[in-house]
Amino acid sequence: MPQWEYNKLDLNNVPPRSSEIDLLDDAGRNGWELIRITANNLAYLKRAVEDDVAPGAPPRAKPITVRRKTATPGASRV
């Protein structure tokens, strides 16, 4: 039975000059499969955990995470 690892992306805080689609595309290239996007714009992903890594295979990519930025007091939003 396959083993899975899970990841969560906050699509509300995508870096400037990027889009949610680009972020999800990058995750897909790293083997992540989209499970669901919630109403509050969080994307849940999964990928199979490989037990045996083939000799000479590239190292597994670290999970992609987007950190939530906090607003500074008195700063206006555009």
Predicted structure pTM score:
0.61
Position 69 scores a pLDDT of 45
* Per-residue pLDDT tens digits for 25-74: 999 999 999 999 999 999 999 999 976 555 555 555 555 555 444 444 55
DSSP state of 68: P
**Quick one: pLDDT at residue 61?**
56
75 pLDDT above the threshold of 60: no
Instruction: Report yes or no: 5 and 51 within 8 Å, Cβ to Cβ.
Output: no
